[in-house]
Amino acid sequence: MNDVSQSLPQSPREQRRTLTAHPAEGIPLWLLAAVGFLASWLGRGIAPALPGSTTGIERFIVLTSSVTNMLSQLAAAGAVAFVLRLSGTLLVERRLGIAFRTIALPAATAVAALTVAAAHDGLDAEMQGVLAVACLMSVLVSIPFGLLSRGTRALGLLLVLAALASLLHFSALALAIRAGEAASAAAYDFARGVATVGFVMDVALLAFSVVWLGEARGTRIATLGAASVLFGFTLTLLAREGLEPDASAGLVVVARTLDEMSRPPAPFVPAALRYVLEGALGLCAVLCLIDRRRYAFGAVFALALIGRGAVDVPLSALLLCAGSLSLPLLALQNESTPPSSRSRSEPAVSAVTPAAAASPE
């Protein structure tokens, strides 16, 4: 395993280039985000949409379920190993302060432990609430490190938007459940109002991601934004066709997938706009992943887009937690301190080996 602290570049420019190309050594953050993206869309959208969509596809449903389970376990094992290893590295990093180490790291460990528990017995509603709170705590205490460092300020702002969106969506879901138990239409409408604010935060998150991808170039921003919206609009048109009685199986699956990805309660916006947003966010996450010139930053953007709004879902919460924990490490690496002034006793900036992504051990 390589010790990054022994090979830090000599200039701030070179250090930033290394930072954006290779984050924590070991399992690439990009690979974790890519597998997590596939597992999330399969597990939360496509796989639940297949049963009942048409007849004669039983074998395809079984195959899709098997692939979904494999990718979900692969992503969960890699993310658990990543979070635990990174927590151990950050625990002994004194520059992070005692507050961060006593809040974020135990919270991240709790998210990892609950994800492992969910793989065996699932989580009840109370434990899902604990999972969401632990994830949000880990994200919130990581944000200042990004905002205070110029090189990682975009990531700090990204996590602010992701945390707000996640908090609003989780609150809306909890309020909707209580409204259902109390059989209160007014309380349910209030929950939908909270979900509507969460929808607005999702739109802001999409816009910010597009601006970051565009690198402050107007033409590039407009092109990427138009492509994302057009992709979401195309999926929405296909989904509308899938609602027709004589629709093909493929169109039905598209419609049901977008409906599964749009979590309850429904905000006070047309379903078509929710579908456009889900499709646009999905494409934006892919665009962040393929931005290889800003390797680590694109992975954190993708993890935030994957995990936002679903912090009560174990894998989504764990992926968002992994991205937020990477932010303090990236901020520290972004410092321009020359190697000669560093103590040789500083901890190595390293994560897990690639093999750990395939095994929880």
Q: What is the pLDDT of residues 109-157, one digit of tens each?
A: 999 999 999 988 888 889 999 999 999 999 999 999 999 888 899 999 9
Q: Is there a domain that residue 293 lies in? A: yes
Tokens of 99: 């507050």
pLDDT exceeds cutoff 60 at 338? no
Q: What count of other Cβ atoms lies within 10 Å of the Cβ of residue 11?
A: 10
Nearest to 20 by CA among 243, 326, 234: 326
Q: Is there a domain that residue 127 lies in? A: yes
Residue 360: its pLDDT value, please? 38
pLDDT band at 16 (very low <50, low <70, confident <90, very high): very low
The percent of residues above 90 in pLDDT, for the chain, comes to 59
Beta bridge pairs of residue 25: 350
pLDDT exceeds cutoff 60 at 173? yes
Residue 25, phi then psi, degrees to nearest 5: -65, 155
Residue 89: its pLDDT value, please? 86
Express each pLDDT in 36-95 by its tens digit: 999 999 999 999 988 877 767 788 889 999 999 999 999 999 999 999 999 888 888 888
DSSP assignment string, 291-316? -GGGHHHHHHHHHHHHHTT-TTSHHH
Q: Is there a domain that residue 318 lies in? A: yes
Cα-Cα-Cα-Cα dihedral sign, residues 205, 210, 215, 217: negative
What torsion do the CA atoms of 60, 281, 297, 83 make, to the nearest 10 degrees?
Answer: -50
Residue 1: its pLDDT value, please? 40
Q: How many domains does the chain have?
A: 1
Instruction: For residue 303, give its domain range.
Output: 26-332
Residue 120: its pLDDT value, please? 81
Q: Is there a domain that residue 341 lies in? A: no
Identify the weakest region by mean pLDDT among 17-26, 165-174, 310-319: 17-26
Q: Is 324 helix (H, G, I), strand (E, B) or coil?
A: helix
pLDDT band at 358 (very low <50, low <70, confident <90, very high): very low
Q: Is 25 helix (H, G, I), strand (E, B) or coil?
A: strand
Q: Is there a domain that residue 219 lies in? A: yes
Q: Quick one: 124 exposed, middle or buried, by C-beta within 10 A (0-12, 13-18, 19+)?
A: exposed
Q: Is there a domain that residue 338 lies in? A: no
Residue 53: its pLDDT value, please? 72
Residue 156: its pLDDT value, please? 95
Which residue in the block uniquely carries the two structure tokens 């399969």?
A: 42
Nearest to 1 by CA among 19, 21, 20, 27: 27
163 with 136: CB under 8 angstroms? yes
Tokens of 160: 């602010």
Residue 247: its pLDDT value, please? 85
Residue 124, phi then psi, degrees to nearest 5: -80, 180
Angle between helices 125-147 and 153-182 (to 10 degrees): 160
Chain centroid offset of residue 35 CA: 11
Residue 224: its pLDDT value, please? 93
Q: Is there a domain that residue 72 lies in? A: yes
Q: Quick one: 103 exposed, middle or buried, by C-beta within 10 A (0-12, 13-18, 19+)?
A: middle
pLDDT band at 344 (very low <50, low <70, confident <90, very high): very low
User: Across all residues in the chain, what is the average pLDDT?
Assistant: 84
Express each pLDDT in 257-299 by its tens digit: 999 898 889 999 999 999 999 999 999 999 999 886 777 899 9
Q: Is there a domain that residue 296 lies in? A: yes
Residue 99: its pLDDT value, please? 86
Nearest to 5 by CA among 297, 300, 340: 340
pLDDT exceeds cutoff 50 at 19? no
Residue 295: its pLDDT value, please? 77
What secondary structure letter does DSSP report for 43? Answer: I
